[in-house]
A and B are shown apart, each in its own frame.
Chain A
Amino acid sequence: MLIREKLSKYISFLGLLVLVIFFQIVTKGNLLTTKNVLLILNQGYAILIASFAGVFVMSTGNLDFSLGAIAGFSCVCATLAALNMNPFLSIPIALLVGVGIGLLNGFVQNVFKIPSFLTCLCTMFILTAGTQSLITGSSIMMPISMMSWDSNAVKIVFGIGYTVIMVVLFKYTRIGKQLKAIGVSPEAARQSGVNVPGMMTLAYVLTGLAGGIAGFFLMLRTGGAATTTGQTVTTDVIIAIVFGGMSIAGGASSKISAAILGALTVTILNNGMILAGYGGDAQQFVKGMLFLVIVAVSTKRGTGIVK
């Protein structure tokens, strides 16, 4: 029993290590070149940003299916703002759009008592429609002058600051602790003084905000917005957090480190498979299978409840 517990504590880390070694061999050393490591960090940036917020929602036992659509939609809004008004407006626009949608997600499920996953699914469809109608053709470009904004230094500084804030919010304030309590039992949390609707809304505002930030950085990296922007973010985030060692049911297993470890794992998996020459369909297949295996291994036997 003890060995199992210890193993499950480090299994995410071991998994990442195995993955790195595997792709390092398969790609004949091309994985860990300076150039590719920088590329991995760039590719994984949006996933990392979104995963941190994803942990807050998942710790309550819920998922934000609209996360990727929020990233896509705020990416479009930011690009349009930069094109039509002022490049500097793209930042507040992206953030406000994200936070606004998060508030709406929280409001709708609390006021109309709609299960959160349904609310988020609907939000996803609506936002996808919005994104597609705002883009004429398949993509729009941001102003050329903004190309210089996509700097590694900015990303690293912001990334470190963001990470510190998220870790503090989750581990050293009541936000993370109360969300985790909701994941164990909403009723017990309520009886312990947790404002359950309020905290749930806050969690969705966080994913909204993270979606907005991710959307902004996606714009910088890809030079604009496309109808497909952000499409894979939702699934990548869910897979990342579970890879990172957290359970879909949230609660006791919740930890903020799952975001870092998981985002890194998913990005290396995506990058490694491209380097190794797998096609898009094979990539989806492998991700799906791996996800299934991890959920199966981390599920408590006999109860059928994912813990």
Chain B
Amino acid sequence: MQVTPVIEVKNISKSFTSTKALSKVELRIFPGEVRGLIGENGSGKSTLSAIISGNLKADEGEMFMFGKPYSPTNSFEASEMGVSIIVQEQGTVETISVAANIFAGREHQFCHMGFLNSKKLTVEAQKLLDSIGLEYIRAEMLVAGLSFEDRKLVEIARAFYRLPELFIVDETTTALPQRGRNILYGLIKKLKANGKSVLFISHDIEELVEVCDTVTILRDGKLAGSLTEDEMDPYKMKTLMVGREITDNYYRSREKTAEQSDKIVLSVEHVSSKILKDISFQLKKGEILGFAGLSDCGIHEIGKVVFGLIKPEKGKVLYGNGIEITNPKQAIEKGLGFMSKNRDRESMLIELTIKENTVIPSLPKLARYGFFITPKSEKELALKWCGRLNVKMKNIEQPCSELSGGNKQKIVLAKWLANDSEIFILDCPTRGIDIGVKEAIYKIMGNLKSQGKSIIMISEELPEVIGMSDRILVMKDGCLKKEFIFDNGTSEADIIQYMI
């Protein structure tokens, strides 16, 4: 007899303006199954989980739950039907209590004659927290007072108020310390024992092998294959993810590392801010300096401080010749360029054209007699750099909002290159872009290095930090914890132990 799947996804496709995120994906998850989902960034894993959890609507295709048509219009509806999700990004409201977060949208259960019985709400929430091993989190506390890790656990508790039929974990474990991970693994076992199912999304291949019964691999929005427990093998999984045999020179080639000089182009001296605690480091000419750490440990703040966007409470950022950097305008004049993690909102003028975006930092240089900017000079500059970086576009008058993530990223690089920048601060340079463009970005970074330009690379993806950096600084809770100088032996495990 055939078992009815908890969730059956049929022919699901989804596009975002110019990129196809998913194309005709099929997936069936059976009761009691822990299914892994893996793929490179931009392969469509998060899109698929968002569709199943009701956060996104598919363009085509159908879904079934226990054989019946299933089409939730939002995540709340999905969770009422038994599909709960916890995601990478923060999903709690800071300004209300833990209990209020857990029961958000379900307050009516605690209402009597229109009044909320907040005592009962708190008691129930505490019971729930206790039952899953989170006794140390108090239900009446404000979420704002919790650490990032604990907030994630509150979200997990919320998902477990009623045992979900399908529990989706979207790359949450990277944000959790070992204790939190163990709690999560325990809950997954509990679900499995109760005949419930889990869709487990992770970058960590070893973790997937450990936790999952089966693994489905996505590549460029298509199903690349599924592996059962006996077939699961890290090498096989990687090959399916990338779609070809993995070679070691996916990142930059290491033969030509000799160009690095000892000239210091930037030094950060005893910088402290809200998050950062007494950070000091130096950047050399032609060096790629990687920053690794959890997303809220201060690595992103470092980039903003160096670029003059955040004024440190103590300490200073000095340009090579000793001049202090105090604001972004001056930083740009000194040859710095910053690519924000939040590209569309901070590094791009998204509604404006490719040309306008490429030339904006260079406007002072383009001005003749310090004043006139000719359309011809703008056009030439934009064409030159967009051409060199192989931006896929109709023409330079196309609005940036129509471009794919990878091409937007290239425009951000083009605008700093056009301004002859010497120091590039790249915060998550390959976030959310597909693998082909990713490789192109790595190649550009390698070229910049060989031209003697310096790069600060901030990333939450350890493989790329290890693959690209000459030196890696590992951060935790606002402090610098460890420095790794590149050698072929550095592994993710070495770095992770300093991160968490």
Contact = CB atoms under 8 A, between A and B. Distances in A.
B345 A188 contact: yes
Interface string A180-221: 110011011111111100000000000000000000000000
B328 interface: yes
A294 to B, nearest CB: 20
A173 interface: yes
Most buried by B among A168, A173, A174, A178: A174
B348 A188 contact: yes
A193 B352 CA distance: 16
Contacts of B352: 180-181, 184, 251-252
B122 interface: no
Contacts of B372: 168, 172-173
B371 A173 contact: yes
Choose among A168, A185, A190 the residue with the greatest number of B CB atoms under 10 Å from its CB. Answer: A185
A191 B333 CA distance: 12
Contacts of B371: 173
Interface in B318-338: 328-329, 332-333, 338
A191 B342 CA distance: 12
A193 B360 contact: yes
B309 A190 contact: yes
B4 to A, nearest CB: 38
Interface in A119-173: 168, 172-173
Contacts of A172: 372-375
Contacts, number: 74
With most chain A CB atoms within 10 A of its CB, the pick from B338, B349, B361, B374 is: B349
A177 B373 contact: yes
B373 A194 contact: no
Contacts of B349: 181, 184-185, 188-189, 192
Nearest to B419: A193
A71 to B, nearest CB: 28
Nearest to A184: B349
B373 A191 contact: no
Given A172-B372, A190-B328, A184 B351 contact: yes
Looking at A172, A177, A188, A192, the one whose CB has the most chain B CB atoms below 10 A away is A192
B373 A192 contact: no
A177 B382 CA distance: 15
A191 B351 CA distance: 16
B345 A193 contact: no
A174 B374 CA distance: 11
B415 interface: yes
Given A192-B415, A195-B329, A187 B346 contact: yes
Contacts of A189: 349, 360
Given A172-B373, A177-B356, A193 B328 contact: yes
A188 B347 contact: yes
Nearest to A249: B351
Contacts of B350: 184-185, 188
Nearest to A176: B373
B361 A193 contact: yes
A191 B415 CA distance: 12
A194 B345 contact: no
B58 to A, nearest CB: 19
Contacts of B415: 192
Contact of B360 (A168, A192, A195): A192
Nearest to A190: B328
A195 B327 CA distance: 9
A174 B350 CA distance: 19
B346 A252 contact: no
Contacts of A174: 363-364, 367, 373
Contacts of B346: 185, 187-188, 191
Contacts of B309: 190-191
A191 B367 contact: no
B445 to A, nearest CB: 20
A108 to B, nearest CB: 21
B347 A191 contact: yes
B328 A191 contact: yes
A188 B373 CA distance: 21
Contacts of B307: 191
Contact of A193 (B329, B348, B367, B373): B329
Most chain A beta-carbon neighbours within 10 Å: one of B340, B346, B374 = B346
A192 B361 contact: yes
Contacts of A307: 351
Interface string B412-432: 000100000000000000000
A172 B378 CA distance: 10
Contacts of A188: 345-350
A184 B351 CA distance: 7
Contacts of B315: none
B332 A193 contact: yes
A18 B174 CA distance: 62
A252 B397 CA distance: 12
B452 interface: no
Given A184-B352, A190-B328, A193-B361, A252 B399 contact: yes
A235 B374 CA distance: 34
Nearest to A180: B352
Contacts of B333: 193
Contacts of A252: 351-352, 399
Interface in A240-298: 251-252
Contacts of A192: 332, 349, 360-361, 415
Nearest to B375: A172
Nearest to A192: B360
Given A184-B351, A184-B352, A251-B351, A178 B363 contact: yes
B190 to A, nearest CB: 42
Contacts of A251: 351-352
Contacts of A187: 345-346
A240 B31 CA distance: 64
Interface string B353-367: 000100011011001
B221 to A, nearest CB: 25
A195 B308 CA distance: 12
B422 to A, nearest CB: 15
Given A173-B367, A188-B347, 9 more contacts: A173-B371, A177-B356, A178-B360, A180-B356, A188-B348, A191-B309, A192-B361, A193-B361, A251-B352
* CB-CB nearest 8 A-B residue pairs: A252-B351, A193-B332, A174-B363, A184-B349, A192-B360, A193-B361, A193-B329, A184-B351
Interface of B: 307, 309, 328-329, 332-333, 338, 340, 345-352, 356, 360-361, 363-364, 367, 371-375, 399, 415
24 contacts: A172-B373, A172-B374, A172-B375, A173-B372, A174-B373, A177-B373, A178-B363, A180-B356, A184-B349, A184-B352, A185-B345, A185-B349, A188-B349, A189-B349, A189-B360, A190-B309, A191-B338, A193-B328, A193-B329, A193-B333, A194-B329, A252-B351, A252-B399, A307-B351
